[in-house]
Amino acid sequence: MRFFLLLFFVPLIADDSFITRFEYAKMLYENPRGVGCHYCHGLKGEGKIIAKYIEKGKKRYLKAPDIRDVEYKRFYKKLNSKKFKSAMPSYFLTRSEIKTLYYYIKMINSEDKR
């Protein structure tokens, strides 16, 4: 029975058809069991100003960086980090979910050939 269930679910997640995998990836980017990446990094990972403030009379910005060209190793490290001293929240994602997020950012940006 367990084996049967596995056979049933695996194609849902690992389907090679473009739409299914892409849609799953988009869903994960916008709802990664926590605050969606897009709120801070933008819909395509292009980066965004997430707060404006004034410090010592000067206008300052807190920006979530552009993550479109981050290499995988760095991407993985960042998402797997359990250090709580960043403006970015910690996530508890599996290796495969992190890979999917990376794939999503690559896919969505190659599509419109910036």
87 is a contact residue toward ligand HEC (CB under 6 A): yes
Positions 18 through 37 that interact with ligand HEC (CB under 6 A):
32, 35, 37
74 is a contact residue toward ligand HEC (CB under 6 A): yes
**Quick one: which of 43, 88, 107, 108 contacts ligand HEC (CB under 6 A)?**
88
CB of 32 to ligand HEC, least distance (A): 4
How far apart CA 21 and CA 103 sit, in angstroms, is 10
46: which 2 tokens?
Answer: 């292009």
Match 């980066």 to its residue by tokens.
47
Q: What angle do CA 102, 84, 87 make, to 5 degrees?
A: 65
**Closest listed residue to residue 104, CA positions, set 39, 33, 40, 20:** 20
- Candidate ranges 1-9, 14-22, 51-59, 69-77; the one touching ligand HEC (CB under 6 A): 69-77
**Residue whose CB is less far from ligand HEC, 20 or 97:** 97
101 is a contact residue toward ligand HEC (CB under 6 A): yes
86 is a contact residue toward ligand HEC (CB under 6 A): yes
- Contact positions toward ligand HEC, by CB under 6 A? 32, 35, 37, 39-41, 50, 64-65, 67, 70, 74-75, 78-79, 86-89, 91, 101
